[in-house]
Amino acid sequence: MTGTVVVSGVGLWKPEYSISNDELVASYNAFARRFNTENAAAIEAGELTLKESSSSEFIEKASGIKSRYVYEKEGILDIDRMRPRIPLRAEDEISLQAEMALNSARRAMTAAGKTGADIDMVIVSCAYTQRAYPAIAIEVQNALGIQGFGFDMLVACSAATFALQRAHDAIAAGSARCALVINPELTTPQMNFHDRDSHFIFGDVSTAVVLESAETCTVDNSYDILGTKAITVFSNNIRSNFGYVSFAEDTEAFGIDNLFHQNGRKVFKDVCPMATEHLQLQIAAVGIEVADVKRWWLHQANINMNHLIARRLLGHDATQDEAPIVLDTFANTASAGSIIAFSLYQDDFETGDVGVICSFGAGYSIGSLVLRRR
C-alpha cells in the first residue's frame, strides 16, 4: 500500500438492559444483610468479616458511574445468583460473543460503505473471549462472508487500541486491504457481584471500527491515522486469574479468586501519570501540540481519572466537548470505552480537526491513535 491508513467507519451496539446504581446497591445490600444475619455468630467470634453496605452515592462520587448496560439483568440482581443467567448455545448456533460482535460490526461496515467482500482481516479484541478456539473472529468472518483471515487477541482495557494498531500496521505493510476490529466486551460473567469494592464497575457493550487504505475509502466521514502508540508495563494491581490451568491445579475455575479484582487506588495513582506522559509523547511524535487536539476520546474507567489526565494535559478542567465522559451510562466497558466516546462524539468534526483515542488499564497497558478528519 502507498499512502495513509484511514478509519472509515465505527459501530456501537449496546444491550437492551441497563442496571441503575440504586438497583445494583439494593441487590448487594439485601445479599449483605442476609449474609450478616446468617453468619452473626461467626462474625461476632471474628471468624468472618461483617459485610458493609454499598451505596449509590459512593459509587457515583468515586467513579462517575450512574448505570451500566448488561446483557442479562435478572440473574445479576437475584441475590441467590448474582451473576448473569446466559443460556448455553449449541455448537451449531452463533456464539453469544460473535453475535454481539456482528451487531456492532454491521453498523461499522454500513458507516464505511463496505460489505464482507471488501474486508480481508478481522480482529476480535477484548478483555475476555468466551472460548479459546475456533476464534470468535473466524466465526464473525464466516458470518459476514469475508475472505482472508481473522484472529482473537486479549489486552484487557487496551484491547481496542492495540488491535487498531495491529490493523493499521497490517494495512500499511500491505498484508491486509481493509480490516474490521471488533470489541465485544461481555464483562459481567467475570465480575464478582458479591464484592462491594468492584460490583459496580463494569458493563457490557460491543464496538467495531473499519480501517482501510485512503485509496479505497469512499465515505466522507473518515479519519487519517497520523500515529499509533502502544506500551505495556507489568503490574499485579489488576488481575483476572481465570484460565484453563485451573483444571490441573485442582483449583476452582469459577472461584472468587479467579474473577476480576484490583487495587483501584493504586491503579489510579500509577496509571494517571503514565497515560498523561504517553499522550504528551504521542502528540509530540506526530508533530502537533496539545492545543491542536479538538477532542480526547479517553478510556472510560473512572471519571476522576479522566478529569485528572485531561487537566494535566490541557492545564484546565476539560469540558464534555474536549474529553467526553460516557461512563456515567455505560460504566467501564473494558476496551470499548474510548471507542464508544469516539462513536458518540464526532458529528461536529470538520476537515482537519484532530482527535486522540487513548486507552489505559490492566497489564498495565496504554494505547493511542491520533486521528485527523479528512
Contact residues toward ligand CO8 (CB under 6 A) are 54-55, 58-59, 62-63, 127, 156-157, 187, 190-191, 196-197, 200, 202, 238, 260, 262, 264-265, 267-268, 301-302, 305, 332, 334, 361-362
- Nearest distance from C-beta of residue 198 to ligand CO8, angstroms: 7
Beta bridge partners, 19, equal: 68
Q: Give the C-alpha separation, 200 to 209, whole Å.
A: 27
Nearer to ligand CO8, 213 or 332 (CB): 332
Kindly state the smallest distance separating residue 337's Cβ from ligand CO8, in Å. 9
Least CB distance from residue 293 to ligand CO8, whole Å? Answer: 22
Q: How far is the CB of 97 from ligand CO8 (least distance, A)?
A: 13
Residue 241 near residue 258 (C-beta atoms within 8 A): yes
- Minimum gap (Å) between residue 1 Cβ and ligand CO8: 33
- CB of 35 or CB of 268, closer to ligand CO8: 268
CA distance 312 to 271: 13
Helical segments of 71-222, H only? 74-77, 96-112, 136-144, 159-173
Closer residue to ligand CO8, CB minimum distance, 17 or 58: 58
Q: Which is nearer to ligand CO8, 295 or 299 (CB)?
A: 299
- Distance separating alpha carbons of residues 311 and 327, to the nearest angstrom: 18
CB nearer to ligand CO8: pick between 6 and 164? 164
Nearest residue (CB) to ligand CO8, 238 versus 354: 238
CA distance 312 to 300: 17
Among the listed residues 271, 260, 170, 158, the one whose alpha carbon sits nearest the alpha carbon of residue 212 = 170
The answer to whether residues 286 and 225 touch, using CB atoms and an 8 Å cutoff, is: no
Burial degree of 315 (CB within 10 A; 0-12, 13-18, 19+)? exposed
Cα angle value 362/159/137 (rounded, 5°): 140
DSSP 50: P
Could you give the residue numbers annotated as active site? 157
Contact 345, 295 (CB under 8 A): yes
Shortest distance, position 87 Cβ to ligand CO8, whole Å: 21
What is the maximum span of the chain, computed from C-alpha positions, in angstroms? 73
Give whichever of 233 and 285 is closer to ligand CO8, judged by the CB atom.
233
Q: How many CB atoms lie within 10 A of CB 92?
A: 5
Q: Of all helices (H) and strands (E), which one includes residue 340?
A: helix 337-344
- CA dist., res. 78 & res. 76, Å (int): 6
Residue 327 CB, nearest approach to ligand CO8 (Å): 10
The H or E element containing residue 294 is strand 293-298
